[in-house]
Structure 1
Amino acid sequence: MKSKGTLVVIGLMALLLGCSEQKASESPLADSLQLPANFDCAKYGGTLEVKTQGNGQRYGVCQFEDNRQCEAWAMLDGRCPPGGLKVTGYVTPAAVFCAITGGSYQVSAKSNMPQEQGTCSLSNGTVCDVWKYYNGTCGAAGDSGSAAAR
């Protein structure tokens, strides 16, 4: 009989611990991407999705209505407006990545084809092959060209 009472108490304690408040972060995804603890796409009307660059680096994208997106850090530092940029019409993931991280994409070859080539002009004046930028190999030594390299 005593063991039943002990089991009930242990069960109640486990239930209470399971209901305890989560970490201060608004989003476990934000934590995994090393975004600020208070970052929450929902505050801006979107949902956070984790995507992967060509080099395997993960990045967060705030998805909004009407096919609008922003890379999370680009939105936080003003390179992409809250509410996102419309990405309809970009053919490749590299072109989308350029746009949502604050770059300006220009097609250079094979327009509207899966092998489309282009350049990404960044706000710091750097112009990269869009695929090198997407794959994290654009920029000076030590600059990975990735969304995480700020």
Structure 2
Amino acid sequence: MLVRLLCGCALGIGAAAALAQPLPPNQATTLANPASVNCEKLGGKVVIHDGPRGQYGICAFRDGRECEEWALYRDDRCVLLDAHGWPIAQHGRKPESK
């Protein structure tokens, strides 16, 4: 009985491995940015800006609102940024790091 069980498991694993298809050459797997997916789900359009601290994403809505995409995803609130990518509520000082 144990031999049948082990043979069945081995056959199942072998069949699963045979069905797995490798990616074609030059095709990389990518994961979607969850904050960008959330923005589009809410009806916004993702816009990437270059700032002094690097790139940051904005979720732009048709009504003119522009929200920092990660704050919108993480906290479900719109955080406005200035032209340098700093939150407007904390203009003049760096946001606290976590």
Provide the TM-score with structure 1 as the length reference: 0.36
Runs of 4+ in 1 over 2 A off after TM superposition: 22-26
Q: Name the count of aligned residue pairs.
A: 73
Q: Structure 2 unaligned runs (5+)? A: 1-23
In terms of fraction of residues, the more strand-rich structure is: 1
Q: 2:83: which partner in 1?
A: 93
Higher helix share: 2
Q: Which has the larger radius of gyration?
A: 2
Q: 1:132 to 1:57 in 2, by over 3 A?
A: farther
- CA spacing shift, 1:24–1:62, aligned 2, 3 Å: same
Distance 1:39 1:93, change over 3 A: closer
How many percent of aligned residue pairs carry the same amino acid?
21
Mapped contact 1:71–1:80 kept (Cα < 8 A): no
Q: Give 3-state SS (helix, strand or coil) of 2:75's partner.
A: coil
Q: Give the direction of change, closer, same or farther, for the CA distance of 1:74–1:46 in structure 2 (3 Å limit).
A: same
1:71 corresponds to: 68
Which protein has greater RCO, CA pairs closer than 8 Å, 6+ apart? 2
Cα RMSD after superposing both structures = 3.4
Return the alpha-carbon distance in structure 1 between the equivalents of residues 46 and 36 of structure 2.
Answer: 10
The answer on whether the counterparts of 2:71 and 2:77 sit within 8 Å (CA) in structure 1 is yes
TM-score, reference length from structure 2: 0.51
Q: Deviations over 1:36-56 (max 9, x none)?
A: 3x7412111011111133x33
